[in-house]
Amino acid sequence: MRIVKLLPLSLILAGMTTPALAVDQGETYLGGGLGYASYDETGIEEANPTALIGRLGYGLADHIAIEGRLGFGLTDDDIDVLGINVDVNIEQIAGVYAVGYLPLAEQFSLYGLAGLTYAEGSIDVVGLNFDGDDTDFSYGVGAQIDMSENVSGFLEWVQYLDESSYEVSAITLGASYHF
């Protein structure tokens, strides 16, 4: 019984000491990906616009980075609200995040992030355009796999905005180059 309790801890500790292309102190990375967003507002159908999201990060310490992101809407999504076609679009996303990496294998790591996001969006209803913006605490999780010595791919989920009447989150698939 005692061995069963110690086994997961030993696996975690072994993963933390395994070299992976997470982030090392002083390292810079630049990347981006395609984000499949979810705009979920109380009382209406979920909208799923897409965005191109770029990221630039710097390793403050081994496995800990500070990261800036900038994203722009690529495609909008049409939803039906009370029989009226509504066009939902992401105009931009900008944010700063702390990112912590947990290497689990030689070429694979998990990460978590937390920070602050500013986002702008628009809704077009029968030719009338309504713009809005908001700032909120953001958080997310992801997985990173090394594809070469300097290139990694990632898949992540981030909750960008979480307000009382709506939420904006995204699943993003992309790649980064590590300097």
Q: Which residues lie closer than 8 Å to 153 by C-beta, 6 or more apart?
A: 144, 145, 147, 173, 174, 175
Query: In 3D, which of 39, 77, 37 has the Cα closest to residue 171?
Result: 37
**pLDDT tier for residue 103 given thresholds of 50, 70 and 90:** very high
Evaluate whether 166 touches 88 at the Cβ level (below 8 Å). Answer: no
**pLDDT tier for residue 21 given thresholds of 50, 70 and 90:** low
Q: Where are the domains of the chain?
A: 2-178
Residue 8, H or E segment: helix 2-17
Q: How many CB atoms lie within 10 A of CB 77?
A: 18
**Cα separation values, 126 from 30, 81, 87, 122, Å:** 40, 11, 9, 13
Q: Is 26 helix (H, G, I), strand (E, B) or coil?
A: coil
Q: Higher pLDDT residue, 164 or 67?
A: 67
C-alpha–C-alpha distance, residues 29 and 111, integer Å: 15
Mean pLDDT value of segment 11-30:
65
User: Which pLDDT tens digit goes with each residue over 27-48?
Assistant: 999 999 999 999 999 889 999 9
Task: Give me the half-sphere count of Cα atoms (radius 13 Å) on the Cβ side of residue 87.
Answer: 13
Q: Higher pLDDT residue, 83 or 175?
A: 175
User: Which pLDDT tens digit goes with each residue over 131-176?
Assistant: 999 999 999 999 999 999 899 999 999 999 999 899 999 999 999 9
**Cα separation values, 96 from 93, 156, 162, Å:** 11, 16, 16
Query: In 3D, which of 121, 145, 98 has the Cα closest to residue 40?
Result: 121
pLDDT at position 93 is 97
CATH architecture of the domain 2-178 equals Beta Barrel (2.40)
Mean pLDDT value of segment 117-132:
94
Mean pLDDT value of segment 80-91:
93
**Cα separation values, 43 from 7, 40, 91, Å:** 47, 9, 23
pLDDT at 6 over 70: no
Mean pLDDT value of segment 8-18:
41
Q: Which residues lie closer than 8 Å to 45 by C-beta, 6 or more apart?
A: 79, 80, 81
Mean pLDDT value of segment 83-99:
96
pLDDT at position 54 is 98
Q: Which pTM was predicted? A: 0.85
